[in-house]
Amino acid sequence: MAPTFSTKSGDAAKAKTDALILSLSATTALPKAIDKAFGGQLTELLEARGFNGKAGEVAAFPTFGKLGVRTVVITGTGERSNEPGRWGEGLRRAYGAAIKRARDEGARTVAVATPEKAGSAEISAIVEGLSLALYSFTRYKSGTAAPKKQIETIEIWASDKKAAAAVTHGEQVAAGVALARDLVNTISNDKTPPQIADWAEQVAKNAGLQCRVLNQADLAAGGYNAILTVGKGSAAEPRLIEMIYEPKGKAQKTVALVGKTITFDSGGLDLKSADGMYSMKTDMGGGAAVLGAMHAIAALQPKVKVIGLMTAAENMPSGTAMRPSDVVTALNGKTFEIGNTDAEGRMVLADAVTHAARAGADEIIDLATLTGAKMVAIGSIAVGSFSNDQAFQERFLGAAAEAGERVWPFPMWDEYKDGLKSEIADLKSTGGRGGGAITAALFIGEFVEGKPWVHLDIAGNAASDTEGPYSPKGATGVMVRSLLNYVESAT
């Protein structure tokens, strides 16, 4: 259960909770009231321990009745950086690490002191860090008893007048990220395309979003052959899920968010290796980010219209599966030859971006766990960005940086297109040797009908086998924050 947040103003040293969290950097000293309560001994203790406010440092101290709280948790933020978004990200990490420590110390109620002069963006980032650090996924653990150590309430002590709104903002963002994590962590047996469509419909209904699901017959009638072809090998039918958020006033523009939603990627007839296949329940991380973002967008109420699309299909080998060398006519009429059945993501996206363009999108952002080549190129720290519109890409990269997520642009020069030539059709779905993340992106770009478009390759980013300060092992919910910041700052 997510903890309940509240806002308090005044000096957090007066808090009467189980634990108090406060942050320090190398240049900030302990708040006077706290130092005084300990007669200077806490400052001495910190010095003795060599604690100097570096990022990653966390220390907990019992108060033995000297304060209204039983435990003080002190967390290092590192130095304030001027690079956009890095200070906020430092806060997310510092407060995320601290709340886990408070929980491990047995606290159920926590007061959080925010840094002096923290504004709305910083308070939101702190709440995101606190909330996301406590995320856990227990659906498949038997025994329903609540964990013994669990944070129930968090008081945010802040002087900013807009603190309460910022706390709510942070909670709404975190809820979107948590939903994306839940979707990715769920096993493929419980998120077949029809099941994921039901899940999206439920989310849309609760959030007040319009939702329309195209089933197999609808897709066939509409000419969505690329999506249908990917779904052919599975016992579960594919679905194209469309959600729409309309702002209250007149929308200045329409942004489409398109998520690759391969509910399991076995590779198809070009079957993956056992090692390569194991993690492929996460191959819907793009769609999960879209649904998580749409859920939060309904609450955040940005000024732009947003269309959310999820291309739910399962890539399986069977007697009805697509074959390498088959030719498909996509929704926009272009034909392509299937170079490899494991290159299924770009196929479902081809039809989905065309759908987005025809649905009136002024800008299209697609997100996909698309290529191993992207991971070879830049690993799992950054997300890869690819675009046909420099100015649009710059705006998106700016929003992502502010949200504290690492995104890095790749070149999209025409010369790379040579690899996508086919002897028999307009295009081939796979490129030649090298530059596989770029040729995959260029393939998708053939179907955007000339609209400004950014493609985000999140291969290696959607799930992690290591724990982060505010992210347990497993699904990360990557890009939800960037998408939200983009649509919130778009006018």
- Residues with Cβ within 8 Å of residue 278, at least 6 apart in sequence: none
Spell out the alpha helix ranges (H) of 210-366.
Answer: 216-222, 225-231, 274-277, 285-300, 345-358
**Pick 343 or 480: Cβ nearer Zn ion:** 343
Candidates 171, 265, 337, 446: give the one binding Mn ion (CB under 5 A).
Answer: 265
**Pick 203 or 288: Cβ nearer Mn ion:** 288
Residue nearest to ligand BES (CB): 372
Q: Is 265 in the site for Zn ion (CB under 5 A)?
A: yes
CB 188 within 8 A of CB 263: yes
**Pick 23 or 369: Cβ nearer ligand BES:** 369
Give the DSSP letter of residue 312. E
153 binds, among Mn ion, Zn ion, ligand BES, none (CB under 5 to 8 A by kind): none
Candidates 287, 345, 384, 419: give the one binding ligand BES (CB under 6 A).
Answer: 345
Q: State the Cα–Cα distance between residues 96 and 131, nearest whole angstrom.
A: 8
Candidates 122, 344, 389, 402: give the one binding ligand BES (CB under 6 A).
Answer: 344
> What is the DSSP code string of 181-224?
HHHHHS-GGG--HHHHHHHHHHHHHHHT-EEEEE-HHHHHHHT-
Candidates 340, 422, 464, 489: give the one binding ligand BES (CB under 6 A).
Answer: 340
CB 476 within 8 A of CB 386: no
User: Closest separation between CB of residue 311 and Zn ion, Å?
Assistant: 11
User: Closest separation between CB of residue 177 and Zn ion, Å?
Assistant: 22
Q: Of 209-268, which residues contact ligand BES (CB under 6 A)?
A: 265
Which are the catalytic amino acids?
Answer: 272, 346
Q: Nearest to residue 55, comparing CAs of 98, 11, 12, 1?
A: 98
Candidates 89, 237, 342, 488: give the one binding Mn ion (CB under 5 A).
Answer: 342
CB 369 within 8 A of CB 362: no
- For the record, the structure tokens of 407 come out as 């995104």
**Pick 302 or 460: Cβ nearer ligand BES:** 460
- For the record, the structure tokens of 26 come out as 């190398």
**Opening angle at CA 139, ends 137 and 143, nearest 5:** 110
Binding mask 412-431 for ligand BES (x = CB under 6 A): ------------------x-
CB 462 within 8 A of CB 370: no
- For the record, the structure tokens of 40 come out as 């200077």
Q: Nearest to residue 347, comparing CAs of 365, 359, 335?
A: 335
Q: Of 96-135, which residues contact ligand BES (CB under 6 A)?
A: none
**Pick 233 or 460: Cβ nearer ligand BES:** 460
Q: Is 345 in the site for Zn ion (CB under 5 A)?
A: yes
User: Closest separation between CB of residue 272 and ligand BES, Å?
Assistant: 7
Candidates 105, 155, 283, 337: give the one binding Zn ion (CB under 5 A).
Answer: 283
Sheet holding 327-329, edge to edge: 327-329, 335-337, 427-428
Which residue ranges make up the site for ligand BES (CB under 6 A)?
265, 283, 340, 342-345, 369-373, 430, 436, 459-460
Which residue ranges make up the site for Zn ion (CB under 5 A)?
262, 265, 283, 345
